[in-house]
Structure 1
Amino acid sequence: MTDPLRVLIHGANGRMGRALSRLAGEDAAFDIAGAISRHVDARVVDGIPRFAVSELNGVPIFDVAIDFSQPEAFDAILGLCVARGKPFVSGTTGLTGSQYEALDAASTHIATMWASNFSLGVAVLHDLVERASRVLPGWDCDIIEAHHTRKVDAPSGTALTLGDSAVQGGATPHFASIRAGDIVGEHCVQFTSNGERIELIHRAGNRDIFAAGALHVARALRTRAAGRYRPIDLLG
């Protein structure tokens, strides 16, 4: 039997960090090695050791780090994973070009995976969008995304990366954004020609799917060689 995966959660006080802690704590396949956040009020919460971001070098042994934090905290956690030779999973958005370059450089030493969306269904959607774009040259490609009213960025990061998949297939995507109510996340990629239309749609019913997806890919990275992976590479 495989030992539980020792997970280091970076950005533990955020919405995703809290979901990761809850789901990993309910699954015997995981052991939370530590939780890192900007500020620490207690050293141990629910049996999980807590560390401030300034204490990164003192965190215990871990098998993989999962990062959902802020761009200004990204470099340090990536550097820690490289220094310890451990896989790195990140959903931190708003990274700079140099940070993506650092991620590429780190991938020559460790297994890494960055994604704007950790839903396993969205991973499949990316593949479908690229394939449809490739076999439907000349069709209009529109990406319509909807989120809750508190979401500031538009188009969403997921919409933009779906656009990248469309470009890979040869399409030129156009974007539209909706902010309404408490919508968790909906993405529709529409291909239109004269007299016909194809819609590829993903709807998120709750935010736990993103945390569950991050834990899934973290387990898959445990035995992977150094490289930069996509969610679709780690399904199954």
Structure 2
Amino acid sequence: MTVLKIAIAGASGRMGRMLAETILASADTTLTGALDVAAAPAIGTDVTGFLGKNSGVLITSALADGLADADFLIDFTRPEGTLEHLAYCASHGIKMIIGTTGFDAAGKAAIAAAAEQTAIVFAPNMSVGVNVTMKLLEMAAKSFAEGYDIEIIEAHHRMKVDAPSGTALQMGEVIAKAVGRDLDEVGVFARHGVTGERDPSSIGFATIRGGDIVGDHTVLFAGIGERIEISHKSSSRVTYAHGSLRAARFLANKTTGLFDMQDVLGLR
């Protein structure tokens, strides 16, 4: 059995800790490195110390040290940090699984360019359930393209810094493509005051932030006399960790290329 050598970014954060725990529990993966920002209090400590056990992997801010033995980097941090990691990984042939959200067009272009040097899975949500939901939304949207108003409602914890969530935006993009629209033209991200009647071609977004909500997404297709709701609710970050490891296994025999979770799960 081939053992995948994986490093994680944002190692002392909530997602980083979940990744560390999941990698250690998987028979075909080993944790070889842990990165965090230089100001993080956990720098220099064992990455699994929070579990009451020592892995021998210390959290570092030095890319050369944290990635020295890694074949893969799983990154759920911030765009600026991920892009720094991306440049290093591309030049050193380290494959990446990117779950970071909030990239602008230039950031997405940088990821696409890096995929010419190394293999990358880039998805705003690594959950298997969410990505199956994306496929269901594509199918549903084709049937509800006319006569149904489309609204996307998402809720996350109070610490999330971008809105709408990357997952909500991906849902909007999947739906818009399925019905032949451009999300940049039909997306409505705020409503206030006298807005007038709803444009039937629009795709609306509503954002909720509060407490410790891991991630809830609902797409509402509202017609006359009926409404259809397709929802996904996350109760634990472990779903993202499991999806990330599936992505790493998918990349094991790839050298270059840009992929997403639809590719990983064979849903194309």
Structure 2 length normalisation: TM-score? 0.80
Using a 3 Å threshold, how does the CA distance of structure 1 residues 32 and 197 change in structure 2: closer, same or farther? same
Matches within 5 A, 1:62-81: 62-81=70-89
What runs of 5+ residues in structure 1 fail to find an aligned partner?
A: none
**Cα offset, 1:200, TM superposition:** 0.9
Q: Aligned residue for 2:185?
A: none
Task: Please say if residues 155 and 213 of structure 2, whose CA atoms lie closer than 8 Å, have aligned partners that are also in contact.
Answer: yes
Q: 1:129 aligns with which of 105, 128, 137?
A: 137
**Distance in 1 between residues matched to 2:47 and 2:10, nearest whole Å:** 16
Aligned position for 1:98: 106
The structure with more strand, counted as a fraction of residues: 1
8 Å CA contact retained: 1:12, 1:35: yes
CA distance, structure 1, for counterparts of residue 234 and residue 123 of structure 2: 16
Task: Mark the CA change 1:84 to 1:130 in structure 2 (over 3 Å): closer, same or farther.
Answer: same
Match of 1:221 among 238, 241, 251: 251
> In the TM superposition, what are the counterparts of 1:24-103 in structure 2 within 5 Å?
24-39=23-38, 40-42=43-45, 46-53=54-61, 55-58=62-65, 59-103=67-111
- Unaligned runs of 5+ residues in structure 2 are 49-53, 182-201
Instruction: Judge conservation of contact 2:121–2:260 (CA < 8 Å) in 1.
Output: yes
Give identity over the alignment, percent.
38
Q: Aligned pair in 2 of structure 1 residues 10, 126: CA closer, same or farther (>3 Å)?
A: same
Letter in 2 for 1:154: A
Amino acid at match of 2:260: R
1:80 is displaced (CA, Å) by 2.1
User: Secondary structure, in 3 states, of the residue corresponding to 2:64?
Assistant: helix
Measured against aligned partners, the alpha-carbon deviations of 1:23-79 in whole angstroms (never above 9, x if no partner) come to 1111221111111112323377622423533x2124322221111222222222112
CA contact (8 A) 2:8 2:16 kept: yes
Structure number with larger C-alpha Rg:
2
Distance 2:3 2:27 in 1: 7
Where in structure 2 are the equivalents of 1:125-164 lying within 5 Å? 125-138=133-146, 139-164=148-173
* Structure 2 residue 185 is the aligned partner of structure 1 residue 186: no
**RMSD value, Cα:** 2.1
- Give the CA deviation at 1:116: 1.7
| Count of aligned pairs between the two proteins | 234
1:205 aligned to which of 235, 244, 257: 235
- Offset from partner CA, 1:172-220 (integer Å, 9 cap, x none): 4211223344332211111122222221111112121112211221111
Alignment partner, residue 198 of structure 2: none
Report deviation, 1:151: 3.7
What letter is aligned with 2:165? Answer: S
Residues 33, 69 of structure 2: 8 Å contact kept: no
